Structure 1
Amino acid sequence: MLKNMRLPETHPSFRLNKLHYTNEELASVAYSLIKEGEPYEGQAGSFLLDWLNEKDYVEVKTSGSTGTPKKIRIKKQFMINSAKATGRFFDLPAGTTALHCLPTNFIAGKMMLVRAMVLGWHLDLVLPKANPLDRVFKIYDFCAMTPFQLDNSLSRLHLIRKLIVGGGAVSATQKDLVQGIATEVYETYGMTETVTHIAARRVNPKRKKEDPIPFQVLPNVSISTDDRECLVISAPQLAEEPVVTNDVVEILSPKTFIWKGRIDNVINSGGIKLHPEEIEAKLAPIIAHRFFITSLPDPALGEKLVLMVESDFSETALKNLEKEIKASNKLGKYELPKKIYLVEKFEETPNGKIHRTNTLKSRMA
């Protein structure tokens, strides 16, 4: 039996691929998805069986962006609470039409199903791929994507009324490209340990706002910082203990904060602390390829700032990029890379994020 909770019946308005299912019926559907469906449907089926079993928790894999991916247990009640908070924050009531285009073996994909079952959404499950809207011919109220999917869906965003983007930062170029469109595009902040997002910010507000736009936290979430100036999240409805992050933030109010970067990425170059993410945001309009800022040991500075760009090597391209960066006048004196490396292919985490440490190691090997 489930401990300290009773798994609620699916919402009367819940639809999966146009059909309503009770919990009992959903178990049969899950088996069919696993046995007869495509691999992505099988992932959804496996999660649904986990959701419907007698345990009061679900085992979830972390993304691996900060270390080796691992399995953690998340209480089903916390997942229900998260779904309700999302519904309130983004105003997504029963009957909301939603497109599910994320892999269900990670928390973001699992939560799309939970939100639909709990809130009564009409959810359509499609193949999680780079351009999930390419074969979509109807308008949806809500969708969640990764930044990579957003990048490949810009021409068809009119099919989504509200879009949340998570699993990585929305680039400056992407923010520019979604200005003035009808779709409400939100960048989210969260992690597996907080059952996806605990904060969000609209990156294309109707009225132009100062950059950076602060994140606003969801209901029943409190924020503070520790002695490293890193975010501490207190959300008793989502996690039993406060979640101490490695994200350096500036808290503006009890409900808003500005994300500055990860403390484990901070570069101390000659006594100057540099946040790679802030420099990357300035470089994004200049560099067309994937890239990141990191550091290498330096006898004089301690650490020297270097720029890694995913591109085939070309002496001409390298010189042109150096000139463009200097001519842009976007970077401060200490933010200019001491060296630029062109790397044919970046190392990645299991869910497609750039693995900075491994990429640097392989390039320097």
Structure 2
Amino acid sequence: MTPKFDKVHLKFKLNGSSFDYDDLKEVAYSLVKEGEVYEQVIGNFLLDWLDDRDYVLTKTSGSTGLPKSIRIKKQEMVNSSVMTGDFFGLEPGQKALHCLPGQYIAGKMMLVRAMILGLELDLAPPTTIPSYDHYKAYDFCAMIPLQLKNSLNRLDHIKTLIVGGASVSSTLQASLQDVNATIFETYGMTETVSHIAVRQLNHIDNKTSHFEILRDISIAKDDRGCLVVDAPQLSKNPVITNDVIDLVSKSEFDIIGRYDNMINSGGVKLFPELIEAKLQSKITQRFFIASEKDAALGEKVILIIESKTNDLEHSVFDSLDKFEVPKIIYNIPKFVETANGKIQRQKTYEEIKA
């Protein structure tokens, strides 16, 4: 039986203390009034969660457009929590670590999972180098890729870790193979109430892993080749994405790239994400692939690197096909990012051209 959003699990703990539904309101007020900035954000969410409305307002990340606020039903967040708990076998009384920004869906869902599933949740500041007791055993944790990269030598006592918010590079995945924690990349968005699919990144004996959907979800492709998610427990209507996918099976898929990032160069359709994957082990700085208008090709591939110079050896591009090789290399000292660290590609390009 799925719990209701107006109930808090008897085994739920926050920073080591037990709280029921009414106690949490006092905690929330205290966090807002006396807490650090990240704790104030969490306190405000708890007040929203405990009010009389059946929904919360949540911001989208703004990585592919302007950030916006959308309504999400509280019961949909509960449903998502139960689906995640079922997939990972989370049990009441298990310990979880929260080190994500509380204003976005991923951070909110860590709180909801703890309250609904009865987890003992510890809060840590959402910094790029998470500060937590890495000798304490945790059953579950969520991070963004940069946090994971900066925590590789402090994961011995985490059992399961999910990573999302941006794609996981092949370089980072390679560095996870000797890590004790079992790590999964997630796929989802605000509109799907956090993740709807996960892909195991380590402890898989070098097998190819695909994104596997959670229960009670179905997937398909539209006429653009983009993923369509039908998850009645999470969204009233199917969610049509701009992610071009390879549909491996009824329950598995691989992401090829963003439809709105696709480059048509001389009639050849190119996906920046695939080119970037080929270059990840060759370029040490942060970078991304984009395009510009071109009189002969229609669009030409460009490379933008986060650096003070644009000097790269041409051998860096030896693994690329003819049309994939960047025609221009731009550099910028610092990429434009969203509040939670996602690169804003279009704004970064516009700043270069300004």
Identify the TM-score tier after normalising by the shorter chain: over 0.9
Partner Cα separation in structure 2 for residue 71 and residue 85 of structure 1: 24
Match of 1:19 among 17, 20, 38: 17
Partner Cα separation in structure 2 for residue 281 and residue 134 of structure 1: 31
In the alignment, structure 1 residue 344 sits paired with structure 2 residue 333: yes
Describe the superposition over 1:315-339 as per-residue Cα deviations: whole angstroms up to 9, x where unpaired: xxx1xx233313xx32222211112
Partner Cα separation in structure 1 for residue 219 and residue 305 of structure 2: 35
What is the SS of the residue equivalent to 2:313? helix
In the alignment, structure 1 residue 286 sits paired with structure 2 residue 301: no
How high is the sequence identity, in percent, across the aligned residues? 54
What is the SS of the residue equivalent to 1:167? coil
Match of 1:98 among 84, 96, 99: 96
Aligned twin of 1:129: 127
Backbone CA RMSD of aligned residues: 1.3
Partner Cα separation in structure 2 for residue 139 and residue 338 of structure 1: 50
Partner Cα separation in structure 2 for residue 140 and residue 263 of structure 1: 38
Partner Cα separation in structure 2 for residue 248 and residue 6 of structure 1: 35
Match of 1:325 among 312, 316, 328: 316
One-letter amino acid of the structure 2 residue matched with residue 121 of structure 1? L
What is the SS of the residue equivalent to 1:253? coil
Contact 2:98 2:124 in 1 (8 A): yes
Greater shift in the superposed pair: 277-286 or 191-200? 277-286
Contact 1:134 1:156 in 2 (8 A): no
Contact 2:4 2:78 in 1 (8 A): no
Cα drift, residue 129 of structure 1: 0.3
Cα drift, residue 6 of structure 1: 5.3
In the alignment, structure 1 residue 216 sits paired with structure 2 residue 212: yes
Describe the superposition over 1:241-286 as per-residue Cα deviations: whole angstroms up to 9, x where unpaired: 0000000001111100010010000000000000100111111111
Cα drift, residue 309 of structure 1: 0.5
Cα drift, residue 154 of structure 1: 1.1
Aligned twin of 1:70: 68
Contact 2:228 2:240 in 1 (8 A): yes
Greater shift in the superposed pair: 126-135 or 335-344? 126-135
Partner Cα separation in structure 2 for residue 208 and residue 176 of structure 1: 10
Contact 1:180 1:206 in 2 (8 A): no
Segments of 4+ moved more than 6 angstroms: none
One-letter amino acid of the structure 2 residue matched with residue 349 of structure 1? T
Describe the superposition over 1:171-215 as per-residue Cα deviations: whole angstroms up to 9, x where unpaired: 1110010013221111100000000000000011331113xx310
One-letter amino acid of the structure 2 residue matched with residue 262 of structure 1? R
Cα drift, residue 169 of structure 1: 0.2
One-letter amino acid of the structure 1 residue matched with residue 187 of structure 2? Y
Partner Cα separation in structure 1 for residue 62 and residue 177 of structure 2: 32
**Count of residues in Structure 1 that have an aligned counterpart in Structure 2:** 352
In the alignment, structure 1 residue 253 sits paired with structure 2 residue 249: yes
What is the SS of the residue equivalent to 1:297? strand
Aligned twin of 1:29: 27
Contact 1:116 1:122 in 2 (8 A): yes
Contact 1:224 1:233 in 2 (8 A): yes
One-letter amino acid of the structure 2 residue matched with residue 203 of structure 1? L
Partner Cα separation in structure 1 for residue 169 and residue 131 of structure 2: 20
Greater shift in the superposed pair: 119-128 or 347-356? 347-356
What is the SS of the residue equivalent to 2:248? strand
Partner Cα separation in structure 1 for residue 324 and residue 119 of structure 2: 46
In the alignment, structure 1 residue 364 sits paired with structure 2 residue 353: yes
Give unpaired runs (5+ residues) of structure 1: none
Given the superposition, is the C-alpha separation of residues 31 and 268 from structure 1 closer, same or farther in structure 2, using an over 3 Å criterion? same
Contact 2:24 2:46 in 1 (8 A): yes
TM superposition score normalised by structure 2 = 0.97
